[in-house]
Structures are given as C-alpha cells and as structure tokens.
C-alpha cells in the first residue's frame, strides 16, 4: 500500500538533491535543506528531543543571515527568450499537478487496498509533481538534472520561509495543548455581550483574522480560536453546524494572512522575487480584498451555521 511515508520519502529525496547541488557554492543552504531531508526521512525515529534539536538547527541556520538567494543559470534576456518561444503553453505543465491531484483523489479513495484513503490528496499531489516533471522533460527536451537545478534556484530564492507554514501550524498545536485557547476564551467571553450570537460570531471571525496576523498562518490560529470560541460558544452554546463554523472560520483566518508580514512566504518572498521597491507592496494591494472578504465570511457563518 502506498502511504504518506512514500510522500515523505519523495520529498526527502528532493531536498537531498538540493543539498548536494548546493554544497559547493551555498553550504549554509545545503545544510538547511539537508536537515529538512533528515526530518522527512527519519522524523519518526528521532523522537521528540531529536526533532526539537533539528528544528533548532533549522532556526539557527535561517536566522544566521547566511542563506543565499538562488541565481539563474542564464542571463535574464536568454530566460525571457526561452519563455517567449513557448508562450502561455508553459502553464500546461503546471496545470498537470492540480489536475492529477483532483483525479487521483477521487480514484485513490476508491482503491483503499492500494492507497491510504485518508492521505489520497497528498499522494495524488505527489504523483502530479512526478507526472508534470516527466511531461516537462519530454516536451522541453531537458534532463531531470535541469529540473533539479531550477528547483534548487527557486527554493533558495524562497529560503527559510518555505517551511514557515509547517512551523507555525506546529506552534499553533503547541499553543492549543498548553491551554492558550482556554485563556484566550476566558478573556473573549467577558467581552461578548451575554447571549449575543452575532457578537460571538464576530469575535470568532475577527479573532481568527487577528490571531492569524500575529502567528502568520491560519493553521496556527485555528486550534487556539476554535478551542476558545468555536467549540465552547458557537458549537456547544448555540448549537451551530461544526462544518460551517470550522470551514468558514479558516477562510476568515486567511483574510488575516493577506494582511501580515508574518506570512513571509506569501507576502514578503513574492516582493523579493519580483524586486519590488516596496517590500510591503503585496500586503498593501491585498487590504482592499481582505477586509470585505472578512465581513462576508462573518456573515456567512451567522447565516449558514445556525
């Protein structure tokens, strides 16, 4: 049976390749991606202490300021000429990945003896990457080494921010287990007018957005705010629909993602990759979308969940 361990093995192999390719010219980057590969391949065997030390190593390398951005293998003019020769057809290769993920999710769930049903989407997504890689190599007449080199250039450009979502999601789980949700819930409940459903919904939606802005990721905010307001007040207190509250609550949190530099991989890295003069330019452009969308999500929770 193909399980999530196969996905980790594939991801680890790719990070090992990035590390080996960067040993000569970007040793700090190579060490960072090498440690990440170790976590993919041996995370279960390392245990809590070992994984904790590994994370500290990643943080130390990322905070050292010595990770270098990726550099192209050709002048910008040549890369532009290559892109112009193929035009928008290049996006076909990229679209293979979501298409394979969608089809694979449906097919794999129907074959539980062959694929782990709970992880069908991630397995299908990984398969989509391999199919897209094969299609790109055949169409563009390039070897796998070219794909790995370009992948290393891109991941080096993103740098430590590539693993920020996972780190913040893990931090949110730690906060939830340590009782932060209960503490936040006690403070928020005092601010909500007694018996006010709409007030509780506003507190949940706005709280998801604000906590996401602090944490940088809605996955980190979700366990805290759901434990503080979602479950005890909206679901148990007002008997709301858990699926609606949780799903749209996450969307409210994503509104906060659009508004914070803490979401560096979404908001700061694109500005750096595009060489924008305003490093917060992406965030400024998203304010007009995030705030109205937050209001809509709050209203949808109020109308659909109760």
pLDDT exceeds 70 at position 268: yes
% of the chain with per-residue pLDDT over 90: 42
pLDDT at residue number 291: 96
More confident residue, 306 or 174: 306
pLDDT at residue number 76: 67
pLDDT exceeds 60 at position 72: no
Distance CA 240, CA 255 (A): 22
pLDDT exceeds 70 at position 74: no
For residue 241, report the phi and psi dihedrals to the nearest 5 degrees: -75, 115
Q: Where are the alpha helices (DSSP H) in 64-163?
A: 76-86, 90-109, 120-140, 144-158
pLDDT exceeds 70 at position 278: yes
Task: Give Cα 257 to chain centroid, integer Å.
Answer: 11
Cα–Cα distances (Å) from 74 to 82, 85, 150, 151, 205, in that order, read: 10, 16, 11, 15, 47
Q: What integer is the mean pLDDT of 272-300?
A: 89
Distance CA 209, CA 231 (A): 17
pLDDT exceeds 70 at position 259: yes
Q: Does this model's pTM top 0.85?
A: no
- Helix (H), strand (E), coil (C) string for 161-189: HHHHHHHHHHHHHHHHHCCHHHHHHHHHH
pLDDT at residue number 179: 75
pLDDT at residue number 73: 59
pLDDT at residue number 166: 78
pLDDT exceeds 80 at position 69: no
Per residue in 95-150, pLDDT (tens digit) is 999 999 999 888 888 888 888 888 888 999 999 999 999 998 898 888 888 888 88
Cβ count within 10 A of residue 249? 28
pLDDT exceeds 80 at position 290: yes
More confident residue, 300 or 1: 300
**Structure tokens given for 19:** 């590390």
Per residue in 213-243, pLDDT (tens digit) is 988 888 888 888 888 889 999 999 999 999 9
Q: Burial, 281: exposed, middle or buried (Cβ in 10 Å; 0-12, 13-18, 19+)?
A: middle
Mean pLDDT estimate for the chain = 87
Distance CA 204, CA 245 (A): 9
Reference 289, options 209, 208, 204; nearest CA is: 209
Are 240 and 306 in contact, with CB atoms under 8 Å apart? yes
pLDDT at residue number 50: 92
Q: What integer is the mean pLDDT of 46-75?
A: 84
Reference 261, options 271, 250, 274, 252; nearest CA is: 271
Per residue in 166-211, pLDDT (tens digit) is 787 777 777 777 777 677 777 777 778 878 899 999 999 999 999 8
């Amino acid at each position: 049976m193909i399980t999530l361990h196969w996905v980790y093995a594939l991801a680890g192999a790719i990070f090992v390749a990035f590390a080996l390719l960067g040993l000569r010219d970007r040793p700090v980057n190579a060490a960072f991606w090498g440690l990440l590969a170790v976590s993919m391949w041996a995370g279960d065997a390392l245990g809590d202490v070992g994984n904790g030390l590994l994370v500290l190593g990643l943080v130390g390398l990322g905070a050292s300021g010595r990770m270098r951005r990726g550099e192209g293998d050709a002048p910008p003019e040549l890369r532009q000429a290559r892109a112009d020769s193929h035009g928008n057809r290049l996006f076909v290769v990229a679209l293979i990945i979501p298409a394979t993920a969608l089809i694979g999710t449906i097919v794999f769930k129907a074959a539980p003896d062959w694929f782990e049903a709970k992880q069908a989407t991630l397995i299908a997504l990984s398969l989509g990457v391999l199919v897209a890689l094969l299609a790109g190599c055949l169409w563009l007449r390039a070897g796998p080494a070219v794909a790995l080199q370009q992948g290393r250039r891109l991941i080096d450009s993103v740098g430590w921010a590539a693993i920020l979502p996972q780190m913040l999601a893990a931090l949110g789980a730690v906060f939830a287990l340590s009782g932060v949700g209960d503490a936040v819930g006690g403070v928020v409940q005092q601010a909500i007018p007694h018996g006010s459903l709409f007030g509780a919904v506003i507190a949940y939606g706005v709280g998801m957005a604000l906590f996401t802005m602090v944490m940088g990721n809605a996955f980190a905010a979700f366990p805290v705010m759901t434990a503080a307001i979602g479950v005890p007040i909206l679901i148990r207190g007002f008997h709301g629909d858990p699926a609606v509250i949780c799903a749209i609550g996450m969307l409210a949190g994503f509104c906060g993602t659009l508004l914070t530099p803490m979401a560096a991989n979404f908001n700061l890295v694109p500005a750096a990759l595009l060489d924008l003069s305003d490093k917060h330019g992406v965030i400024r452009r998203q304010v007009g979308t995030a705030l109205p969308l937050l209001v809509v999500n709050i209203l949808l929770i109020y109308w659909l969940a109760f």
